[in-house]
Amino acid sequence: MLSLGKLLELTLAGREPADKTQVTVEGVRLRWLGEGALEVRPPSATDNGLDLLLSAGIHGNETAPIELLDELLGGIASGAVKPRARILFLFGNPPAIRRGERYVEQDINRLFNGRHAASSGVEAMRAGELEQFARVFFSLPERTRLHYDLHTAIRGSKIEQFALYPYTPGRAHSRRELARLAAAGVDAVLLQRKPSITFSAFTYEQLDAEAFTLELGKARPFGHNAQVNLDRLRQRLWQIVEGCEPDVDDQLQGLQLFSVAREIIKHSEHFKLHLPEDIENFAELAPGYLLAEDLAQMRWVIEEQGARIIFPNPHVKNGLRAGLIIVPDAGEGLG
């Protein structure tokens, strides 16, 4: 196997490879772009016109998707996987990955779409680097652009594998892309209705890629992800990479769709979230339930039918989202 196929090993060691470019027997070109960043380019004769960005490790302790991308890249470097797409592999936050922690100073996934310019520190600098890697990669004209940003959640979830689909005004969410996710084992998709500051939101809004944040179970240390069954996602990714993806049924049977009803924003250190510490994502909330309180008699009371909570976290910094109230969505605006 080509040594550049060991991008994770290089990243964990904090080493720069001696050879920045290597080519497989089949003519697939691997090029090291910087720490945690590697481009794969198939021979021009077999290139099918897809530019695929695969990122993981935006949060350093989310190891299952890092291991999945390491396995895929290893297959490419050994010749077992024969890509027909251009691929950019990104391990998002190398210092946090090495520490096995979510982040070093602040959450990178709240620093995109211009937010990093108003901040400082290692994560802010890395967010700028990741944007530039993506901007250059997606700069070729007349190609299909797809980005999967792979994560695992802090807490357990009643729906273990789900996706967040970014939003930009005037652009419909794609039914075909939702069907592709369903075929990959994703059980639910949150259709966002306002711009965001995550990595997938940046590539969707600024670079015109189809882009998703995929949540793939609960965060665990390296080597402890046997409970996370990624077989269907693994198979679909391999098929996308090799250009042999079967047709998908766009009826979306079995795929649950949700949209955001309200954000819960923490404004002060007096913020209280009235939920058990071990509550799972997608837990249902009954109308009338007092969900959260903050200064100036600010209260969040559940009014919506079918409401659920995702990403509840009372420990975020002031001004950041402490949770989302979501409701079922009929998907009437899909394109």
Mean pLDDT of the chain: 94
226 confidence band (pLDDT: 50, 70, 90): low
Share of the chain above pLDDT 70, in %: 99
Q: Is residue 105 a contact partner of residue 121, using CB atoms and an 8 Å limit?
A: yes
pLDDT tens digits for range 177-187: 999 999 999 99
Residue 332's pLDDT is 87
Catalytic residue (one of 131, 177, 210, 215)? 215
Phi, psi angle pair for 194, to nearest 5°? -150, 155
Closest CA to 309 of 108, 197, 158: 158
d(CA 244, CA 82): 11
For residue 60, pLDDT over 90 is answered with yes
Q: How far is CA 252 from CA 24, 174, 187, in A?
A: 38, 11, 10
Catalytic, 215? Answer yes
Domains of the chain, start order:
3-242 (3.40.630.10), 260-328 (2.40.50.630)
Q: Is residue 219 a contact partner of residue 154, using CB atoms and an 8 Å limit?
A: yes
The pairing of beta strand 37-41 with beta strand 86-91: antiparallel
Q: Is the pTM of this model over 0.85?
A: yes
156 confidence band (pLDDT: 50, 70, 90): confident
N-term to C-term CA, the chain: 42
Closest CA to 258 of 219, 216, 310: 310
pLDDT tens digits for range 13-22: 999 999 999 9
